[in-house]
A and B are shown apart, each in its own frame.
Chain A
């Protein structure tokens, strides 16, 4: 069946970087989105990619490899406020969003 997989947790240090991985297996592919969700808050759109390669958006960058069913979200110069869950969602051939369960990123001082 279809699935989007993410590690449950990730820990990193303030001022460094964190890479949040996402692997997927879906019926068709029409893009992959990343959202940030703080506890008790709405998911907030970060990035959308549909072509292979690295998309640099400053603090957040996104990489996609369609042949490997793989993406990552890269956060650089981490701040404590980047602590949140990061959700990966794939748009399948029916234009349905298939969500991962999210990776909880904890930033230590």
Chain B
């Protein structure tokens, strides 16, 4: 079936450094999402993105976070600078819905485990 790819699978960085998490969504999908999951805890919404713009973001999406998807390239989540509490697994997801944000099923990547030391 359709796959969302995330690169890298694991990233270890020092606190204060910048990190970019990459996501290759399903090719004909239009909505893209980032979620954060700390081990054993619930999936938490960070942001969704459509037509080159952030549509919704949560309180977890701090000023240090940014997203973009330059044409034909990865959908990225950048954290600059990183903090210890940013350590988590970050899941990218995409959905095909074209007209509005809806309850269309999400296709998830396998996640990038970010370890901030």
Contact A95 B100 (CB under 8 A): yes
Question: In the bound complex, what is the Cα–Cα distance between A97 and B44 (angstroms)?
Answer: 9
Using a CB-CB cutoff of 8 Å, which residues 88-117 of chain B contact chain A? 91, 100-103, 105-111
Query: Which chain A residue lies CB-closest to B92?
Result: A42
Q: How far is the CB of A60 from chain B (nearest CB, A)?
A: 14
Of the listed residues B41, B42, B44, B105, the one surrounded by the most CB atoms of chain A closer than 10 A to its CB is B42
Q: Which of B42, B56, B91, B105 is within 8 Å of A42, CB to CB?
A: B91
Q: Which of B40, B42, B105, B109 is within 8 Å of A99, CB to CB?
A: B42
Of the listed residues A45, A50, A102, the one surrounded by the most CB atoms of chain B closer than 10 A to its CB is A45
Q: How far is the CB of A32 from chain B (nearest CB, A)?
A: 9
Main secondary structure of the interface of B (DSSP, over half): loop
Tell whether B45 is near chain A: CB-to-CB under 8 Å. Answer: yes
We find that the number of chain A residues with CB closer than 8 angstroms to chain B is 24
* List of B residues within 8 angstroms of A101 by Cβ: 40-42
Main secondary structure of the interface of A (DSSP, over half): loop
* List of B residues within 8 angstroms of A96 by Cβ: 45, 56
Tell whether A15 is near chain B: CB-to-CB under 8 Å. Answer: no
Using a CB-CB cutoff of 8 Å, which residues 28-48 of chain B contact chain A? 40-45
Q: Which residues of A contact B (CB under 8 A)?
A: 4, 30-31, 33, 35, 40-45, 48, 50, 87, 89, 91, 94-97, 99-102
